[in-house]
Amino acid sequence: MPRHEFQPGRLLAGLILVTAGVLYLLDATGEADLPWFLVIPMTMGGLCLAALVGIVAYAIRRDRRDRSSESSER
């Protein structure tokens, strides 16, 4: 399998959704008593944070790519 670039936004989004799923599972089994309005804002806030991390990572990656192509042109 060829290596691929690290995408921290997708990693964070996956971790947030897994955490929300585990919280709902704990609530369904009776291990925890979570109000419904706790998990939804946590998930939405986490996805917004993941989008922000993804945008920052893309900007850094684009800047590095521009610098390397600029130095190879010289």
Indicate if the pLDDT at residue 74 is higher than 80: no
CA-CA distance, 29 to 67, in Å (whole number)? 53
The pLDDT assigned to 11 comes to 93
What's the average model confidence in pLDDT over 39-43? 89
Q: Which residue has the higher pLDDT, 15 or 6?
A: 15
In tens, the pLDDT along 18-38 reads 999 999 899 999 988 888 788
Share of the chain above pLDDT 70, in %: 93
- 0.85 surpassed by pTM: no
CA-CA distance, 46 to 19, in Å (whole number)? 10
